[in-house]
Structure 1
């Protein structure tokens, strides 16, 4: 007898539940009406004092204590497993949980260190979570498709092989939307992931499981993917108040991952890290590129980590920097807390430069960024996606008979198809014209950035752009539908870092009167805002570098983050 898609999904979810050790489950959880669960892991008796100490440590501290044998990899992996299961019960952020396998790996690493006195690599013993699409041998990667339940990977993706060669311990995989191309983490198999700061709000997508897990400190370091910002690393990182990094095309190996819209190589998806600290982001990027991934994935460019670029050789060696802030993109004005996050960042940078927190030689300047053809760029990327996306989705769901999810909202509606690319398909020639337009827009935007050299006072163009990542903080489920602040960077192929700044404040972030609006979407976004709706939502910024400038973007982000921390310490 052939199983229905509902039966297949139910059986798969049952297998997931069976993979969790019963002693790690909380018998007493917050009620469904409890919106903020971000502090619950600190209160549960499932975690010991040592578990809390371990899981609240930075990546740098974890690696130091693992290398010195203060903590074993088995200890660290077990502690993060227990906290990840807490996070799962609170936000539904996990897909695959493979405890026995990960602990065997951790034990092998401990035995190697005990026997040889040396670590396997720079990530020795560190648990790492992976977005569901990143293949691990003998484990499923459904990416939310019932059709792909039961398809076990025959081998690791290249990134997993590299992470294991560096000493890492992959230990869980995290939830995604059906098709990946959706800014709300929701599918028919595992259900919906919620935001730990306010469970009435979205964690974003498509790496929403990673965002929620990292925010609850259920993993020290995770890997997500980013193809449009809204379907990305950056939105979940920003909405969940953690650090996240979108690198340029082909710096981090993608080979062997399960994906959607494969063959649509004009706008490439990229893998990148999420963490609770910038040291985790840098550690991941530096470690992975050290393993010469271009010898394992032909798409990866041959570029090692550059200390010169990290030391800002192309940015005045980090002295007298000029940042540009894009207050809005000329299409949709951000909500008050987003604006406040930008103002906090500007003030912190100026104060840090003048006070010499960063260096006695620093004198930061901050200018306004003039947005360039944002509507045209966003439309171009949307049109490229739509060339065959709908056919791609329908081909996959037809294998099981499950429907393509039509709504991100809590109440499903056949009339509410939001954000996901749709279209009847176009000719190859028509697609070529879109790709030609993409090339021209990239050239124009490069020229636009170069032209800022006349405004900076440094003799260089702007060193980095600071912008919103969305016109709102994490919105209610179903309302994350504007990608105009993130999508352009995927077409332009600019690296971008997400940095948490603050949280929505009911007194500071009151709604301001407005009469003039750029667009109908701008008016709708304005009318949607009520600070009470966004209670406790993280406020984050996006730091944007230039194509191929991953090392410099990380360094510039560290300068901004240090300035923000310095400003907080003065309060």
Structure 2
């Protein structure tokens, strides 16, 4: 073996040894694609542990922990065991530190018994962390062999804040090498798969979080998002996720790729199986005033008035824009059915839904990629220099990712001048201004006297695709450039009868043709369907409240049958009112 492979073998051995041997069971064979039922069928979890981990409402978990009905030790143990089960079928976890987490949980239980009060708003709750968030004494590799042995000397600021809030960090989760992929594969830990169908990608770069939480191996996790890295895995794995605005959640002390690029920066945000988990995380972090610990964190307290939707008619008769496609790639049938379902649910709940016209989406995507590409390849080369590990060029499993034929074409070979980069920054600001004006002008057409309250859009032109096929991120990346907060909402699952392939449309470009042609409902069997809800910059509180309204409308409309919608019932026509 080469020197880098020796490092990997040692790291994998140490990872395996960190798992309690009594938690290792026989996983289902590889030809069992949907493994979402495996934790309950494994025999490892007791009846109470199943009850604890099947409780998806984070607020209920927090209430039971605060009252002492469930101890932090038993909740942490239950989720830890389920996380290890998730690891055995999807390879989603990187760092495992059982004794440390249970010691923390025991201390929290003792505090509650003795002081009769909680430590903070997240008291006793196990929280998973993307493998960027440094935890004192643990290695942080972000998928690079070259960073094996990189032990943190102190916690990232966000980890300290979560500890102050009473949380129990208990695992770290897998990422792609470089963090700049919409899938999850690296030379250290390998590939993470989708628990709904293991032939499909879990997304990336927070793919480990997506797979873990979908299997209920964590009630609440932290991911990061620079071009869709929270939203893509949340979508492909059928859970809730939030991309906050720049610097609303502290990043100080975390490890990252492209460090120093601050024009379209990465942000941390939550993933969960409930919208209550999204709110609990955001409010807890903001209430602990991260701007006192991170010089870039925005000094903005939790805005209760905004959460009450004071600028959105108090939540009555809202107007949503719905974007059926971005003008570049037309979505597949399951995605269009999801849009139809959410539109029907909102209209039936008394809200207004109008078609949203996207503007400049291709240029916004191209601008963001050009900004990152100014020095991306040099960044990757410098990071891998010490071990000479190969830089991964493709996520396709059947390809040799390191062969000369497998060329990574996402970024240019050479960088650009400072002046050229400044022009990209300038154009980015102009594009943001154009989109702001576009949004503001909708006040003339909504019928509420206000601009559109939020936009509903696909997360991708497809549900979770086979490994290696998640190439365009155009539906998510634009909102990183615009700095709009976004929440992912689960809607349904692929249905073999409803989501049949439709005849070819007038293709918008070669990529549109390619992605239309490979679609087959059997190929994406059981994949979740989700959508994005997009708000305005630094208006996270209002977006959370709007997401609660949309989520409630969906659940009310489709209780008992979330698939009960025919795609062709209400697709957009020229007669639709458009913004």
Q: Same fold (TM over 0.5)?
A: yes
Partners of 2:529 and 2:164 in 1: how far apart? 36
The answer on 1:391 being equivalent to 2:378 is yes
Deviations 1:222-250 (A, max 9, x none): 00000001xx1000000000000000001
TM-score by length of 1: 0.96
2:246, 2:263 → 1: CA distance?
11
Q: Which residue does the alignment assign to 1:41? A: 39
Q: Which residue of 2 aligns with 1:446?
A: 436
Q: Deviations over 1:13-63 (max 9, x none)?
A: 11000000001111x221001100011111111111011011111211111
Residue 239 (structure 2) pairs with residue 242 (structure 1): yes
- 1:147 aligns with 146
1:150 aligned counterpart, secondary structure: coil
Q: Give me the whole-angstrom Cα distance separating, in 2, the residues matched to 1:10 and 1:316.
A: 58
* Contact 2:61-2:125 at 8 Å conserved across structures: yes
Q: Give CA-to-partner distance per residue, 1:400-438, whole Å, 9 cap, x none.
A: 110001110112243344574343101101100000000
Match of 2:20 in 1: 21
Q: Which residue of 2 aligns with 1:178?
A: 177
CA distance in 2, matches of 1:223, 1:332: 30
Residue 165 of structure 1: aligned partner: 164
User: Is the 8 Å Cα contact of residues 388 and 423 (structure 1) preserved in structure 2?
Assistant: no
Partner of 1:137: 136
- 1:125 maps to 124
* CA–CA separation in structure 2 for the residues paired with 1:269 and 1:416: 27
**Contact 1:238–1:540 (CA under 8 A) maintained in structure 2:** yes
1:165-213 superposed Cα distances (whole Å, 9 cap, x missing partner): 0100000000000010111100011000000000000000000000000
Alignment partners' CA distance in 2, 1:240 and 1:78: 23
* SS at 2:489 equivalent: strand
Q: Supply the distance in 2 between the matched residues of 1:45 and 1:316 (Cα, whole angstroms).
A: 50
Q: Distance in 1 between matches of 2:408 and 2:433?
A: 30
Structure 2: distance between partners of 1:313 and 1:39? 42
Which of 48, 51, 54 matches 1:50?
48
Partner of 2:396: 409
Q: 1:332 to 1:419 in 2, by over 3 A?
A: farther
Q: Distance in 2 between matches of 1:233 and 1:478?
A: 18
Partner of 2:271: 274
Q: Structure 1 unaligned runs (5+)?
A: 354-363
Question: What secondary structure sits across from 2:445 in the alignment?
Answer: helix
- Give the TM-score normalised by the residue count of structure 2: 0.95
- What residue is the counterpart of 1:497 in the other structure? 487
RMSD between superposed Cα atoms in Å: 1.1
* TM-aligned CA distance change 1:456 to 1:373, over 3 Å: same
In structure 1, C-alpha distance between the alignment counterparts of 2:409 and 2:547, rounded to whole Å: 29
Q: Work out which of the residue numbers 488, 495, 499 in structure 2 matches 1:509.
A: 499
* Cα distance in structure 2, aligned partners of 1:223 and 1:298: 20
Match of 2:300 in 1: 303
Partner of residue 345, structure 1: 342
Does structure 1 retain, via aligned residues, the 8 Å contact 2:182–2:473?
no
Give the match's secondary structure for 1:451: helix
- Which of 281, 287, 293 in structure 2 is aligned with 1:284? 281
Partner residue, 1:201 = 200
Distance 1:288 1:352 in 2: 32
Q: Aligned residue for 1:192?
A: 191
- Tell which deviates more after alignment, 209-218 or 57-66: 57-66
Question: Is 2:98 the counterpart of 1:111?
Answer: no
Residue 88 of structure 1 aligns with which residue?
87
Distance 1:511 1:162 in 2: 48
Q: Which of these residues, 322, 328, 332, is aligned with residue 329 of structure 2?
A: 332
Deviation at 1:478, TM superposition (A): 0.2
Q: Distance in 2 between matches of 1:56 and 1:304?
A: 33
2:508 matches 1:522: no
